[in-house]
């Protein structure tokens, strides 16, 4: 269960992400984190335990300025609940940040392959293979990179992804884990469930299995 939220628009993203995560607390979680992009810089904050810890750490989002971001509440499946294992996870170069709900069943084989390519793993999560795979698959187009990455993944995922080199854009994908898209006016959302974004829009679409969403503030 647990939750994912993503926002791009004209408002400050971090308070919207934190509030959205609060509205999904009923889903259960053991830690939380957010990533906000501003001028091509990805800033990440994470905290074990109650969402309140993350809210305090970021001064209710004020320490993470920017109008695009992704947020996550984690229910640990691989790796204990701690700050490092919390999402978002960054790729080796810091180009990508990823939040993930679900389980990557073949992560051991993928991790082995990535270790041989020289990637260093910071966390104990299955999720971290996704963010490094994206980096290996990236040749300048995040959509292509996600399609190539998804083709390698076995298991379940709802993914929210931002890329430093393609600012102003969020990418999402869904397989066997819930994810909805929310259409706003000059702003757009993804979330695990409707209550997270209900304050901002009632126009939602449920992503189908294998769907991918690529969105900006305007479309
Ligand atoms: N399997 C991932 C982890 O343990 C994601 C868990 C979740 O769905 O929150 O980090």
- The C-alpha angle with vertex 187 and arms to 59 and 44, in degrees rounded to 5, equals 35
Ligand 1 atom 7: residue of nearest CA: 101
Ligand 1 center from residue 212 Cα (angstroms): 20
pLDDT recorded at residue 167: 95
Residue of 192, 194, 188, 152 lying closest to 176 (CA atoms): 192
Instruction: Going residue by residue through the chain, which has 219 residues, state the pLDDT in tens, using 9 for 90 and above.
Output: 699 999 999 999 999 999 999 999 999 999 999 999 999 999 999 999 999 999 999 999 999 999 999 999 999 999 999 999 999 999 999 999 999 999 999 999 999 999 999 999 999 999 999 999 999 999 999 999 999 999 999 999 999 999 999 999 999 999 999 999 999 999 999 999 999 999 999 999 999 999 999 999 999
Secondary structure of residue 96 in the 3-state scheme: strand
184 CA distance to ligand 1 centroid (A)?
28
Nearest one of 209, 191, 159 to 8, comparing CA atoms: 191
Shortest-distance atom of ligand 1 to CA 85: 10
* CA–CA dist 126, 129 (Å, integer): 6
pLDDT at 143: 95
Residue 50 near residue 74, CB atoms below 8 Å: no
CA atoms within 13 A on the CB side of 104: 26
Mutate to test the pocket of ligand 1, among 83, 103, 124, 159 (most ligand atoms within 8 A of CB): 103
* Mutation choice for ligand 1 from 31, 71, 75, CB with most ligand atoms inside 8 A: 75
Measured distance CA(99)–CA(4) in Å, rounded: 7
Cβ(46)–Cβ(88) below 8 Å: yes
Q: Which helix (H) or strand (E) holds 64?
A: none
Ligand 1 contacts CB of residue 4 (under 6 A):
no
Predicted local distance difference test score (pLDDT) of residue 1: 62
CA-based angle 218:69:166, to the nearest 5?
A: 65
The interaxial angle of helices 142-152 and 128-137, nearest 10 deg, is 130
CB 150: neighbour CB atoms within 10 A? 18
Q: Is the dihedral of CA 18, 20, 24, 29 positive or negative?
A: negative
pTM above 0.85, yes or no: yes
- The CB of 50 under 6 Å from ligand 1? The reply is no
Strand partners, 155: 104
Round to whole Å and give the CA distance between 74 and 53.
14
| Measured distance CA(167)–CA(189) in Å, rounded | 16
Q: What pLDDT is attached to residue 20?
A: 98
């Amino acid at each position: 269960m647990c939750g994912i939220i993503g926002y791009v628009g004209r408002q400050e993203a971090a308070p919207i992400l934190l509030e959205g995560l609060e509205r999904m607390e009923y889903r259960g979680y053991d830690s939380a984190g957010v990533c906000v992009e501003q001028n091509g810089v990805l800033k990440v904050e994470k905290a074990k335990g109650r969402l309140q810890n993350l809210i305090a750490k970021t001064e209710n989002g004020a320490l993470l300025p920017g109008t695009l971001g992704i947020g996550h509440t984690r229910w640990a499946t691989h790796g204990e609940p701690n700050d490092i294992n919390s999402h978002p996870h960054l790729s080796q170069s810091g180009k990508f940040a990823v939040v993930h709900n679900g389980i990557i069943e073949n992560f051991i084989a993928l991790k082995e392959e990535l270790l041989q390519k020289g990637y260093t793993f910071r966390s104990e999560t299955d999720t971290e293979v996704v963010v490094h795979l994206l980096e290996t698959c990236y040749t300048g187009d995040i959509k292509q990179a996600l399609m190539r990455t998804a083709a390698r993944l076995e298991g379940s995922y709802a993914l929210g992804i931002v890329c430093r080199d393609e600012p102003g854009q969020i990418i999402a994908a869904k397989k066997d884990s819930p994810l909805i898209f929310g259409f706003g006016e000059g702003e757009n959302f993804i979330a695990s469930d409707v209550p997270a974004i209900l304050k901002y829009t009632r126009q939602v679409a449920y992503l189908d299995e294998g769907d991918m969403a690529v969105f900006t503030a305007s479309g």
